[in-house]
Structure 1
């Protein structure tokens, strides 16, 4: 079986807009489920339809942003505030396996689209609820607000300058992954017991759960992470940027002593491994600026492509800093592109969210 048919026969009703909720429906659509996306007919649908780049056709019914998470969905424009609209959605949900909602909980109750109400129509239903701050906090939020509240903005940027947000709505994507995992557990539970489930997460919970080593640095050592630009608080050289003779940037990630030794050998600087300032990772973190001053002139002796080849062959983690055009020059990136013809004759093009490979045994 191809993974694109894995969830064939599964019906998902998506009562969600913007990015996080639709990203959950997108996952199931990519894997063969029937995903019915219900958009608000009174407000001309999902707000992201109108989040257009200046270069996009003003008259178009959708934006590239909208296309990024709405692949292979059966879109229904329905007014849920009208009895006829609610009846239409309830009919869809009666035979559905999963409902994805990012309605405020009070709004869902008012519309009769909350879990308790829908359970009466479909006891085997899996209801996935996405909140901004949590079940008891009705405040709305977009991704950048959560980047602020969860500490990402404080940490991100250059010392002495304003914070910098991440250039994708990463908190939304992380929350979608959390809720997808919960839905998959609920599907397993239903397979074993025949019973439905209510699963939920919040953008704030997902964001905090993703703080990883930065949270632990605080929880164990009382260290408040400060803006460091590209640099890593625990490793050097890691995240440091250098330029080849052609002016093209690359980034290092020498995370082990062996990789640092190989780096110095490739650069013709073996003596750095004997310098007490650079002899251990701890001392390199303490003397990072002096280390970079030593490495920078060496990189200027050859172009980026030459360094990528030489360092790669020596097992030193190094990356070219690519713009989006350069990213999609890679065959690996091209293989993740999904296309879908749209009603206006244009093609929607986006990257796959189910980027894993799957091969059943036998």
Structure 2
């Protein structure tokens, strides 16, 4: 789908590299610019380690070319400038102003390459010098305040979720700008920042604040607006139950042998159940403790009630495989398996997954081919 599109990737760590991985999956040629002898910081972020580098690096850098360029060296900087001048897309997440000082900022690149789509990823926008670390944004951006047990300290999400969300916003912005360019012939500067991507992803929790002026708090595994929509105790563990409407709750009650429960005024409607959540849990859990999680999963699945065991990452891959989703792909050549591109296409599937590059593996190719290319 993006065949012929060349991406000069000056980003590192996670948000930028994840965005360019998706562009590579879609067929773009992605050239990863790395510091000589060191490379992307995440090459040293382990354990776990792979045969060539770290699992962290490999998770965000498949199907790319790697070139080593020292942007403080005038000769390498000239190569980088030429690379950007010939690219369709430039992606960067340098500190604000760092690339401008080297003649690699948007204005300088666009002067030579008016059709370039130039994507800048920052932590807090172009006017802030705060470092854009995911953990910091989870903290100051409110995500930690709504994550965790209400009686405990705020906690971060178990993955760099803000980086992931920002990468997807970056891809959407880049693709939209490329689509517009097909009509106008002109590129533009696409800016995304971690804080804005997080706020845009808070969805109903952000709406709660905007509607009431009051910040929502932590509810652990419970939902602020739906009940039962939480984990409940069975004889041998926790069961996740997600009743999104009254009909599903009625089926849950019948499956648990509590057919009169939906007639109780405290539980007749979802707003009532939310208001009386503690009483509802006290009614449901004794019934659930009569059997184990797996037995209840089967019963509730047959009853049409959304429910499942609280699993781990491994069991999630196993579930996806059982459902025919083919969650992992093999890259061969001693590279670890990768998570499959998350979108399926009826006519233009991802054609190839290639192993992440060794540091500087494509130095000669990039210097002789792509750094002399001119945008059309």
Distance 1:40 1:334 in 2: 37
Match of 1:258 among 224, 247, 261: 247
Aligned counterpart for 1:127 among listed residues 100, 113, 118 = 118
Is structure 2 residue 67 aligned with structure 1 residue 76? yes
Whole-angstrom CA distance in 2 between matches of 1:334 and 1:211 = 27
Counterpart check, 1:350 vs 2:338: yes
> How far apart, CA to CA, are the structure 2 residues paired with 1:149 and 1:333?
39
- What does 1:297-308 align with in structure 2 at a 5 Å threshold? 297-308=286-297
Instruction: Judge conservation of contact 2:231–2:238 (CA < 8 Å) in 1.
Output: no
Unaligned runs of at least 5 residues, structure 2? 349-376
Q: Does residue 29 of structure 2 align to residue 41 of structure 1?
A: no
Counterparts of 1:30 and 1:338, CA distance in 2: 12
Q: How does 1:137-176 map to 2 (within 5 A)?
A: 137-176=128-167
* Alpha-carbon distance in 2 for matches of 1:200, 1:75: 24
Q: Can you list the C-alpha shifts for 1:40-95, whole angstroms capped at 9, x where unaligned?
A: 226x1111111102x537xx652101111111110112111101111222232232
1:201 corresponds to 2:192: yes
Calculate the aligned-residue CA RMSD, in Å: 1.8
- Alignment coverage as a number of residue pairs: 346
Q: After TM superposition, which residue ranges in structure 1, 4 or more long, deviate above 2 angstroms? A: 90-95, 221-224, 240-243, 300-306, 338-342
Q: Partner residue of 2:21?
A: 26
The answer for the alignment partner of 1:56 in structure 2 is 49
Aligned position for 2:356: none
Cα distance in 2 for partners of 1:74, 1:319 equals: 41
Say if 1:20 and 1:175, in contact at 8 Å, map to a contact too.
Answer: yes
* 1:187 equivalenced with 2:178 (yes/no): yes
Paired position in structure 2 for 1:324: 313
3-state SS of 2:260 partner: helix
Give per-residue Cα distances to partners, 1:289-340, cap 9 Å, x unaligned.
2211211121122332222222122221112211122112231487121332
Q: Is the 8 A contact 2:122 2:132 kept in 1?
A: no
Report the alpha carbon displacement of residue 115 of structure 1 after superposing the two structures with TM: 0.7
Structure 1 residue 128 displacement after superposition: 0.5
Task: Give, in angstroms, the shift of residue 120 of structure 1.
Answer: 2.4
1:110 is aligned to 101
Q: 1:233-312 residue pairs with structure 2 within 5 A?
A: 233-243=224-234, 245=235, 247-312=236-301
Secondary structure, in 3 states, of the residue corresponding to 1:175?
A: helix
SS in 1 for 2:268: coil
What is the TM-score with the length of structure 2 in the denominator?
0.88
Contact 1:105/1:114 (8 A) holds in 2 = no
Q: Matches of 1:8 and 1:241 in 2, distance apart?
A: 49
Structure-2 change in CA distance of 1:139 and 1:223 (3 Å): closer
Q: Is the 8 A contact 2:147 2:155 kept in 1?
A: yes
TM-score by length of 1: 0.91
Distance in 2 (CA, whole Å) between partners of 1:223 and 1:278 is 26
CA distance in 1, matches of 2:85, 2:132: 31
Q: Distance in 2 between matches of 1:56 and 1:182?
A: 33
Quick check: 2:297–2:307 contact (8 Å CA) kept in 1?
yes
> How far apart in 2 are the matches of 1:84 and 1:204?
36
Greater RCO (CA < 8 Å, at least 6 residues apart): 2
Distance 1:187 1:220 in 2: 36
- Give 3-state SS (helix, strand or coil) of 1:251's partner: strand
TM-aligned CA deviation for residue 360 of structure 1: 4.4
**Using the alignment, how far apart are the partners of 1:185 and 1:56 within structure 2?**
36
